[in-house]
């Protein structure tokens, strides 16, 4: 068999996606690889296909139990023998799995990094032929990453202990250069073939909403998209409880996930979500890594997250099946303060010195600033994120709330000049709120204490709404006429170009046209002539089969496969095999039932 046959036979796909072939070919040639590809790009196939073509065993180091379980479940469904070795197994089960592994039962074994150097595992590894070691979520080796795991540092030591060095492959979705450098060094990759694919997720629609009533926004969206599965991320446990409670009161099948729940409850809620029993998950960022649910149709951020890396990763959990999906960020200025508070609270990481810790905090504040810019920009949102990751596009995607909003140019010369003057006159000592309140002429105690009421700019913009003044300050920061410091209490400061605001008049800012109802962009279903009622029937059948086998529905077939079935209505086994995502094993297992359902529906017409 060659790689194309493996792709078709086991995974049911006709062609490789961007980057996959290059990495697979390199691995088959015995070269190390490093794949940097966004969530949902299909990194798993890059090592699973070669693993099946190589002679011995492939070990996959993976950080999370749920991730391993999911992957092994998917492989078993495809008819591939795979197993995982982690702390979820009892000693007996672990021992048995190792025994089977020794007999060559498994081509692919997922292992937790903590296991690698344990005696029993090591002696197993020395007895068998290990052709490849794959490091999934490789950014976990980086101390600068969000998900640093000290045990990942043991991987290279483990590899050195093997009698023959296997080929090593590493994969991550984290694009920043610091993290990349760390991975290359810590895993000791040898002249790896590096592939970085575009970070753009073309099937995702991005929206930022600044409406005051966030909950109403959520309800509105859910009402328009019944029966869809999605995640609502909140910044704190308390908000998770609140939002989930209110959704349940309205009869929406929601569940919740955060670090304050017992292991058991978290597991249960996660399963309910995966199995579509509770299709709406309300969670903190503790939820998600390792959730490969492919039919997540929306990700709503109830609060602005702390940085663009986290946002892109969390939002990226939508639409892994490649179908259209929506990412909504509900922004309120209070989210900035809450994030600042969380940065200050960050617990000391034992691996870091005091100095490093200061460095990390400063970096976090800078990242938060970029995140805030994302929420307040009027430019293309997709372009903003891609530029952040070092990719340059046209600044118009036609598929984000900014590209679809009508903007008007407004003259903000008077406001801009007043802001700059106010910052100057107060000696560059205050943050955005004090500046805004001063310009508005607000009678607050704080202003009196700071003697801002004596500032010559006091009350100068009394007729301008607060939101507009804040918008202009943000705008001036984005254009670098001003900047906000990274301190615990951020202060607005002047820059070298501040005075240009008095020279290069008028100052023009793009602003959304006054509250008009935006037309929701039409969600393009790739398969226009899909039969919706058949799709619903197929979904029911999928649920029934999944329940019987105790696996999540999307492991039976993805939404995308079901949609294709509902459009093409295959009549024969051969036609069924043509559907994307239908491999031989699944065809044999489920083909009959699905073909029957499709035929029944045709008859009833």
Q: Which of residues 240-299 bind ligand ADP (CB under 6 A)?
A: 292, 294
Contacting range for ligand ADP; rule: CB under 6 A; set: 16-24, 86-94, 161-169, 461-469? 16-24
CB nearer to ligand ADP: give 37 or 412. Answer: 37
Q: Verify binding: residue 137, ligand ADP, rule CB under 6 A.
A: no
Q: Verify binding: residue 376, ligand ADP, rule CB under 6 A.
A: no
What gap in Å lies between CA 369 and CA 245, rounded to an integer? 31
| Min dist. Cβ of residue 20 to ligand ADP (A) | 6
CB nearer to ligand ADP: give 41 or 418. Answer: 41
What gap in Å lies between CA 337 and CA 469, rounded to an integer? 18
The terminus-to-terminus CA distance of the chain in angstroms comes to: 43
| Min dist. Cβ of residue 324 to ligand ADP (A) | 15
CB nearer to ligand ADP: give 15 or 123. Answer: 15
SS3 of residue 578 by DSSP: helix
Q: How many residues bind ligand ADP (CB under 6 A)?
A: 17
The two tokens of residue 134 are: 């794959």
Q: Verify binding: residue 134, ligand ADP, rule CB under 6 A.
A: no
Which of ligand ADP, Mg ion, none lies near 215, with the C-beta cut-off 5 to 8 A by kind? none
What gap in Å lies between CA 129 and CA 163, rounded to an integer? 9
| Min dist. Cβ of residue 353 to Mg ion (A) | 32
Q: Which residues pair with 283 in a beta bridge?
A: 233, 257
| Min dist. Cβ of residue 45 to ligand ADP (A) | 4
| Min dist. Cβ of residue 400 to ligand ADP (A) | 22
Which of Mg ion, ligand ADP, none lies near 421, with the C-beta cut-off 5 to 8 A by kind? none
Which of ligand ADP, Mg ion, none lies near 237, with the C-beta cut-off 5 to 8 A by kind? none
Q: Verify binding: residue 147, ligand ADP, rule CB under 6 A.
A: no
Sequence length of the chain is 605
Binder to ligand ADP among 3, 23, 39, 474 (CB under 6 A)? 39
Which of ligand ADP, Mg ion, none lies near 501, with the C-beta cut-off 5 to 8 A by kind? none
What gap in Å lies between CA 483 and CA 491, rounded to an integer? 8
Which residue in the shown chain puts its C-beta closest to ligand ADP? Answer: 42
What gap in Å lies between CA 433 and CA 431, rounded to an integer? 6
Burial class of residue 128 (count of CB atoms within 10 Å of its CB; 0-12, 13-18, 19+): middle
DSSP-derived secondary structure for 541-570: HHHHHHHHHTS-HHHH--HHHHHHHHHH--
| Min dist. Cβ of residue 532 to ligand ADP (A) | 23
Which of Mg ion, ligand ADP, none lies near 145, with the C-beta cut-off 5 to 8 A by kind? none
Cis status of the peptide bond prior to 62, with omega within 30 of 0: no
Q: Verify binding: residue 50, ligand ADP, rule CB under 6 A.
A: no
| Min dist. Cβ of residue 506 to Mg ion (A) | 50
DSSP H/E element including 512:
strand 508-512
The two tokens of residue 531 are: 């039969």
Contacting range for ligand ADP; rule: CB under 6 A; set: 10-18, 454-462, 473-481, 533-541? 10-18
Which of Mg ion, ligand ADP, none lies near 569, with the C-beta cut-off 5 to 8 A by kind? none
CB nearer to ligand ADP: give 39 or 436. Answer: 39
CB nearer to ligand ADP: give 24 or 329. Answer: 24
Contact characters 15-44, Mg ion, x per CB under 5 A: ----------------------------x-
**CB 597, CB 538: distance < 8 Å:** yes
Q: Verify binding: residue 69, ligand ADP, rule CB under 6 A.
A: no
| Min dist. Cβ of residue 180 to Mg ion (A) | 17
| Min dist. Cβ of residue 158 to ligand ADP (A) | 22
Place of tokens 């073909």: 595
**CB 290, CB 66: distance < 8 Å:** yes
Half-sphere exposure of 55 (CA within 13 A, CB side): 8
| Min dist. Cβ of residue 293 to ligand ADP (A) | 10
Three-state secondary structure of 63-93: CCHHHHHHHHHHHHHCCCCEEEECCCCCHHH
Q: Which of residues 302-321 bind ligand ADP (CB under 6 A)?
A: 320-321
**CB 508, CB 472: distance < 8 Å:** no
What gap in Å lies between CA 60 and CA 105, rounded to an integer? 16
What gap in Å lies between CA 356 and CA 349, rounded to an integer? 10
C-alpha triplet 165, 166, 168: angle, nearest 5°: 115
Using CB under 6 A as the criterion, which residues of the chain lie in contact with ligand ADP when the complex forms? Answer: 13, 16-17, 20, 37, 39-45, 292, 294, 320-321, 558
Using CB under 5 A as the criterion, which residues of the chain lie in contact with Mg ion when the complex forms? Answer: 43
């Amino acid at each position: 068999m060659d790689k194309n046959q493996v792709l078709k036979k086991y995974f049911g796909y006709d062609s490789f996606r961007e980057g996959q072939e290059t990495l697979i070919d390199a691995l088959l040639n015995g070269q190390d690889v490093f794949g940097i590809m966004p969530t949902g790009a299909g990194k798993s196939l890059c090592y699973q296909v070669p693993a099946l073509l190589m002679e011995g065993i492939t070990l996959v180091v993976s950080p999370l139990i749920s991730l391993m379980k999911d992957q092994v479940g998917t492989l078993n469904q495809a008819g591939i023998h795979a197993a995982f070795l982690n702390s979820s197994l009892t000693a007996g089960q672990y021992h048995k799995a190792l025994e089977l592994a020794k007999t060559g039962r498994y081509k692919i074994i997922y292992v937790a990094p903590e296991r690698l150097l344990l005696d029993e595992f090591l002696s197993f590894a020395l007895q068998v032929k290990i052709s490849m070691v794959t490091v999934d979520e490789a950014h976990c080796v980086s101390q600068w990453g969000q998900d640093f795991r000290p045990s990942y540092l043991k991987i290279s030591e483990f590899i050195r202990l093997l009698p023959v060095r296997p080929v090593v492959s590493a994969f991550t979705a984290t694009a920043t250069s610091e993290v990349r450098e760390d991975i290359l060094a810590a895993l000791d990759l040898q002249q790896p073939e590096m592939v970085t694919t575009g970070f753009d997720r073309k099937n995702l629609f991005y929206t930022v909403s600044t409406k005051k009533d966030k909950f109403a926004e959520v309800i509105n969206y859910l009402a328009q998209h019944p029966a869809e599965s999605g995640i609502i991320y909140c910044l704190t446990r308390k908000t998770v409880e609140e939002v989930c409670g209110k959704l349940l009161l309205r009869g929406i099948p929601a569940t919740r996930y955060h670090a304050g729940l017992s292991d058991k409850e978290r597991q249960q809620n996660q399963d309910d979500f995966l199995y579509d029993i509770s299709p709406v998950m309300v969670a903190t960022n503790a939820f998600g890594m390792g959730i490969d649910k492919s039919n997540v149709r929306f990700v709503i951020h109830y609060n602005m997250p702390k940085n663009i890396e986290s946002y892109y990763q969390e939002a990226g959990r939508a639409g892994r099946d490649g179908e259209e999906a929506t990412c909504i960020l509900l922004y309120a200025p209070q989210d900035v303060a809450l994030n600042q508070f969380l940065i200050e609270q960050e617990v000391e990481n034992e691996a870091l010195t005091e100095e490093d810790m200061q460095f990390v905090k400063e970096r976090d504040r800078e990242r938060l600033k970029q995140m805030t810019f994302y929420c307040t920009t009027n430019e293309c949102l997709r372009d903003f994120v891609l530029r952040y990751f070092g990719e340059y596009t046209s600044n118009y995607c036609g598929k984000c709330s900014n590209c679809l909003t009508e903007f008007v140019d407004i003259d903000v010369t008077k406001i801009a000049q007043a802001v700059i003057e106010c910052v100057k006159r107060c000696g560059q000592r205050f943050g955005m709120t004090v500046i805004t309140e001063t310009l508005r002429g607000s009678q607050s105690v704080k202003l009196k204490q700071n003697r801002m009421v004596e500032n010559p700019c006091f009350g100068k913009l009394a007729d301008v709404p607060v939101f507009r003044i804040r918008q202009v300050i943000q705008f001036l920061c984005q254009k670098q006429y001003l900047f906000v410091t990274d301190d615990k209490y951020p202060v607005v400061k002047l820059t070298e170009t501040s005075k240009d605001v008095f020279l290069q008049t008028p100052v023009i800012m793009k602003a959304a046209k006054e509250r008009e109802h935006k037309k929701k962009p039409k969600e393009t279903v790739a398969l226009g002539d899909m039969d919706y009622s058949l799709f619903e029937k197929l979904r029911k059948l999928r649920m029934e089969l999944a329940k019987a086998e105790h696996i999540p529905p999307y492991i039976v077939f993805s939404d995308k496969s079901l949609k294709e079935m509902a459009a093409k209505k295959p009549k024969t086994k051969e036609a069924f095999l043509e559907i994307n995502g239908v491999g031989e094993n699944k065809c044999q297992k489920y083909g009959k039932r699905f073909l029957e359902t499709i035929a029944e529906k045709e008859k009833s017409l």
